[in-house]
Structure 1
């Protein structure tokens, strides 16, 4: 779904869009800084969201969570619950779609 990032792509991005890239980095740094919630909690939330939306780029918040002081167990827990929610949602959609087909067909 997403192309893999590599150093050449990152260098090209810095060359072509250094302003937007710097603005996004500043925005991201301010979002994940300590504030109303500790940085560790924010990173764990980002890991959970990454699992729900299944974004390969967002999964990288795992390393940031570790750097912020999260343990492996906390990261596992933040990733396992959203997967259960996602599986349940997919099951409900599948059940609903088969049920409505039977009603209308």
Structure 2
């Protein structure tokens, strides 16, 4: 793992995580299955959202896993890249919008 920030995902790590708190892991797994099941939004759309959010939260595991899941659900490389651009704009937009807090905090008197 020298030089790596994150460990490579492995069955051993997944097993250990499940072993430490099995009921919570099982509940999370069920929650995840329900969230990503077809509903008002189809699975492909949900996976595109997940890829965009993963870029904002900067989770490398989520980026990799949801990119693959989105492709399995039929997402194209172009759709995935557009989702990332939406995430980038939203993140930048948040910083831009929060400038109003800074402006409101400016002191006329310094």
Q: TM-score, normalised by structure 2?
A: 0.73
Match of 1:80 in 2: 85
| RMSD of equivalent CA atoms | 2.6
Q: Which runs of 4+ in 1 moved over 4 A?
A: 2-5
TM-score normalized with structure 1 length:
0.76
Match of 1:48 in 2: 52
Aligned residues: 104
Alignment partner, residue 26 of structure 2: 22
Instruction: Give the gaps of 5 or more residues in structure 1.
Output: none
**Where in structure 2 are there 5+ consecutive unaligned residues?**
none
CA distance in 1, matches of 2:108, 2:62: 40
String of CA shifts for 1:5-31, please: whole Å, max 9, x gaps. Answer: 632432211222222212211111111
